Amino acid sequence: MIERLSLQQTIDMFVYVANHMEAVAARLNEADQAIGDGDHGEAMARGWRSAREALDSGEFNSIGDVVSAVGMRMMAAMGGASGAIFGTWFKAGGKSLAEDETFSSEALIILLDHGLEAVQARGHANPGDKTMVDALQPAATAAALAGTRPISEVLPVVAASAQQGADSTRKLVARMGRARTLGERSLGHPDPGALSTHLILQHMADYVGTL
């Protein structure tokens, strides 16, 4: 049972995520091929590769610094809708955590809550529009419900909620992004950004599981 992560562990956690996100690129590309332009895995890989460079070389004074660095690198390296959306998530989360020196469940709640808010302000997607919001929003809710339990207990629950959310996008008709023009034809396919939202949270949980 791990209550909270140190600054170094937080860095290590995102390095772990970065390594694993590169490995799932083909799967995410495939998902994006079905209802988008097939580059989401490539974009994620590019973003996390760049984030890892920052994590490897940077000096960080708070976990907010770490999260912001991830967000800034994703935004700069990815381009496209997902660069803006995922970059916004982590940049907004990092800004709110600029004073924190450990990654606790409270920090996770803030990362998800403030991130979600910023993502929705930027992209105007609501739950049900078939975007990553359909994974991020249930994750944020689950984190809030799990409250102040240790990070090693909260993260798996949050990841599971994100997975459920991502799964649920199969039944949605896209109303945002490239998939919108597909209309009914988007049914049956999950949203790629929702998949990667789950995978990011899943790998965060997995990392904590290795400790």
Interaction site with ligand ADP (CB under 6 A)? 32, 36-37, 39-40, 43, 80-82, 85, 119, 123, 125, 131-133, 176-178, 191-194
Exposure string of 75-91, with b = 16+ CB inside 10 Å and e = fewer, is bebbebbbbbbbbbbbb
CA 195, 201, 206, 211: dihedral to nearest 10 degrees? 170
Nearer to ligand ADP, 38 or 150 (CB): 38
Nearer to another protein, 127 or 150 (CB): 127
Q: Using the rule CB under 5 A, which residue among 4, 21, 24, 40 binds Mg ion? A: 40
Query: Whole-number minimum distance, CB 72 to Mg ion, in Å?
Result: 20
- Cβ distance 10 to 168 under 8 Å? no
Name the DSSP class of 62.
S
Cβ neighbors of 180 (< 8 A, separation 6 or more) are 174
Nearer to ligand ADP, 11 or 119 (CB): 119
Q: Using the rule CB under 5 A, which residue among 32, 129, 134, 191 binds Mg ion? A: 32
DSSP bridge partners of 103: 5
Query: Which tokens belong to 104?
Result: 């606790």
Nearer to another protein, 124 or 209 (CB): 124
Which residue ranges make up the site for Mg ion (CB under 5 A)?
Answer: 32, 36-37, 39-40, 80
